[in-house]
Amino acid sequence: MATTLATAFDRLVLALSVAMAVLAGVLLASLFVIVQYEVFTRFVLAAPTHWTHEVSTFAISWVGLLAAPYVLRLGSHLEVDLVTTRLPHGIRNLLGIATDLLGACFCGFAAWTGAGFVELAHMMEATSASELDTPLWIPYLVIPLAFGLLALEFVTRAVARTGLVRGRDTTATAIHI
């Protein structure tokens, strides 16, 4: 029962992470197109845009953070395992659970304060003070979204380390350190 629940929860979080990573990938491709387009309009057409600079600046934070939960799932965030690989398996696993929960706390806190921050920017009608005048709560939204999901990914990884999640091996990581 617990295994089924844990596995279902894990798959749900995975689906969310994949969806956000796909969105990040689309944004990454658009980033390239937008910057290349600006060179084209300015140099070839001599008609620069007023939006590419701002849109691409916001996109970069979205690209980096939206993909972060999926990258955590892959185990591809930079992690130092110089010490942990020398520990006995059981202790290593326990330490893994502890650091995952610590990571979940940090990310959860970032998501929670981030949500307040988004609300505040909305209340203040803070904008980018440019011609585009983007309401800042829109770019800020990535903080609660990405860190919220990162927190969930940390939690599922901690649960998976207890062996409750079917078909997820937390020891096989792509970590190089």
Task: Identify the residue whose tokens are 């901690």.
Answer: 158
Neighbours of 128 (CB within 10 A): 15
Q: Which of 1, 129, 167, 169 binds other proteins (CB under 8 A)?
A: 129
Task: Identify the residue whose tokens are 């860190």.
Answer: 147
91 near other proteins (CB under 8 A): no
Whichever of 8 and 91 has its CB closer to other proteins, that residue is 91
Instruction: Specify the DSSP element, H or E, that contains 37.
Output: helix 2-39
158 near other proteins (CB under 8 A): no
4 near other proteins (CB under 8 A): no
State in angstroms the smallest separation of the CB of 9 from other proteins: 21
Give the per-residue contact string, 41-80, with other proteins (x = CB under 8 A; - = no).
Answer: -xx--xxx-x-xxx-xxxxxx-xxx-xx-xxx-x-xxxxx
Binding residues for other proteins, rule CB under 8 A, total 78
Neighbours of 48 (CB within 10 A): 12
- At 113 the three-state DSSP class reads helix
